[in-house]
Amino acid sequence: MPGGFVMSDAARGQLHTRVHDDVVGHAPPGTEAPDIRLKPLLLTGLFIVVFTAVTIGGLRYYYNRQGLGPLVQTARMFPAPRLQQSPAADLAEMLRDQRAKLDGYAWIDRANGIARMPIEEAMRRLAARGNAAYAAPLQPERTPALGSRGGASSRVLSPGAGPGAVSTPVSTGPGIGAR
């Protein structure tokens, strides 16, 4: 080949030849149209973008132009009542009271021995007890009363009775139930 270009045999078989199939509709080699026509595709995309922009603009114009209906009144705002003479001083006093409760000792229920202590002291005592601090407190053993759901009973529950109702077995007479 001229120009020093050497083509392999495998590459030669892949080149177009002058033979084409008119029945299938192939174009002659070198004249085949691209797979996708670009102009209709771009025009469709442009139409979608323009349509979306016009629709959004129209909706914004419509909703901004619409006012309240003739029967709708605007809400009236009343001034807030003045319940505190000095809100900043009241807040400071409330925070001071809460801090005193958190940092001091006091009885909550003296009869039952329930007291309040500072948070730091409570955390120190809890940490000193270790894992035992999280154990459930000892509870006295309770035995359910006879006839209750938790206790044994020699009585038979009647089928239609409500919760907790008990009855004794009923004996049948000589003519009942015998056939």
Looking only at Cα atoms, what is the longest distance across the chain? Answer: 130
Q: What is the pLDDT of residues 70-115, one digit of tens each?
A: 777 778 888 887 788 888 999 999 999 999 998 999 999 999 889 9
- Side-chain half-sphere of 33: how many Cα atoms within 13 Å? 6
Instruction: Return the exposure string of 64-78: e unless at least 16 CB atoms fall within 10 Å of the residue's CB, then b.
Output: eeeeeeeeeeeeeee
Q: What is the pLDDT of residues 54-79, one digit of tens each?
A: 999 999 998 888 776 777 777 888 88
Question: How crowded is residue 158: how many other Cβ atoms within 10 Å of its Cβ?
Answer: 13
Tokens 């154990």 belong to 135
Q: Tokens at residue 70, please?
A: 């003739």
Residue in 151, 153, 178 with CA at minimum distance from that of residue 166: 153
Output the CA–CA distances (angstroms, integers) from residue 112 to 102, 119, 126, 137, 162, in the order listed. 21, 21, 21, 16, 38
Q: What is the pLDDT of residues 120-135, one digit of tens each?
A: 999 999 899 888 888 8
Most trustworthy range by pLDDT among 4-13, 20-29, 61-70, 141-150: 61-70
Q: Identify whether the C-beta of residue 7 lies closer than 8 Å to the C-beta of residue 1.
A: yes
pTM of the predicted model as reported, rounded to 2 decimal places = 0.30
Q: Hey, is 88 helix, strand or coil? A: helix
Tokens 């909550």 belong to 108
